[in-house]
Amino acid sequence: MKLTRRVFIGAGTATAIATISQLARTKPSYAKNGEINLYSSRHYDTDERLYKNFTEQTGIRVNVLEGNADELITRIKNEGRNSPADVLITVDAARLWRAEEAGIFSPVSSQVLEGSIPENLRHPEGLWLSLTKRARVIMYNNTQVDPSQLSTYEDLATEQWRDRLAIRSSNNVYNQSLVASLIAHLGEKEAEQWCRGIVKNMARPPRGGDMDQIKAAASGMADLAVANTYYFARFAPGRAASNPNIFNRIGVSFPNQNGRGAHVNVSGGGVVKTAPNREGAIRFLEYLASPSAQAIFAQSNSEYPVVPNVPLDPVVARFGDFKEDKVNVAQLGRNNPLAVKIMDRAGWA
């Protein structure tokens, strides 16, 4: 079996198990043969283009193992010093923090990475870095809500929005990171008060993903939704989930523009400390921070690039420019356990 194909874990297939076993047995050959092994919880087919372009530019092949972030972290820990993994990529600062806490990453010092990616989007000690940004914002039914009524995340918890908000459950890591950012700015007490207000303002018990919250707002079941912008872009004309009844009925509001800015989460990655091809792993991350790779991230999955001045997806560009929260994303991970406790205490299902 060729190891350049993508495989998935979590489904328990014989193919995946066989490939993982083979990777583990052949670890020493990878540094010699000009290959890297990427463990990734990004599940976007469009990322294949990034791997292909990197190989064409460097001659280094990318073997990709995809799976749930927690499964990948556990696998690397269990593989120990024999792990074939060179790079781990995952989504959300909280999951990057979990990998950091598991001792998986090795610090990287790179003038390319430090010169390309803003400081607040990198781990302070170089353990990992952001590759894309996701703005988590307020979306509103434009037949029911005047955007001038919208201002801050804090305002979402006020009486004005009682029974009018659609939002995912507390076990959603995107919401956990949003609460983690509120802890960073407001402190534990005020963050918990905010969560209690959000629970009171829910139009329905939390269910479904971000796209379901947007649908609820478009249908009139709710007036507002909290969601990542790239999910909304999927409803645009010509996209896989194109739906003009939804896309034309929803507006996007970036909160806290007169203050700290809108909350931004990330996908990111780092070099595994036992990487058999550390040099190739660093070159791969440097490539992902290049303008050409950042443009692929932005154009193919409607995410925001972490490198300045990279063109946005045209649909995302229509949402407008915005001021973003500059809190270091590593703090979102560190605040995650407390955020989960606060949401639980607040009765956020």
- This prediction has a pTM of 0.91
Identify the residue whose tokens are 């791969």: 284
Report the CATH architecture of 7-132+266-313: 3-Layer(aba) Sandwich (3.40)
Taking CA atoms, 117 is separated from 109, 129, 145, in Å, by 13, 8, 37
pLDDT in tens, 158-199: 999 999 999 999 999 999 999 999 999 999 999 999 999 999
Q: In 3-state terms, what secondary structure has residue 48? A: helix
Question: Residue 329 CA to chain centroid, in angstroms?
Answer: 11
Q: Do the domains 7-132+266-313 and 134-263+321-345 sit in the same CATH topology, yes or no?
A: yes
CA distance 181 to 65: 31
Which candidate, 211, 228, 216, places its Cα nearest to that of 163?
A: 216
Domain coordinates of the chain in residue numbers?
7-132+266-313, 134-263+321-345
By percentage, how much of the chain surpasses pLDDT 90?
A: 89
Identify the residue whose tokens are 């009171």: 200
pLDDT in tens, 28-46: 444 556 999 999 999 888 8
Contact between residue 7 and residue 15 where contact means Cβ atoms under 8 Å apart: yes
Which class does domain 134-263+321-345 fall in? alpha beta
Which amino acid is residue 24, in one-letter code? A
At 25, is the pLDDT very low, low, confident or very high (cuts 50, 70, 90)?
Answer: very low
Which segments within the chain are labelled E, that is strand? Answer: 7-8, 35-40, 61-66, 87-91, 105-106, 129-141, 165-166, 224-228, 250-253, 264-272, 304-305
Q: Strands 224-228, 129-141: parallel, antiparallel or unpaired by DSSP?
A: antiparallel
By percentage, how much of the chain surpasses pLDDT 70?
A: 91
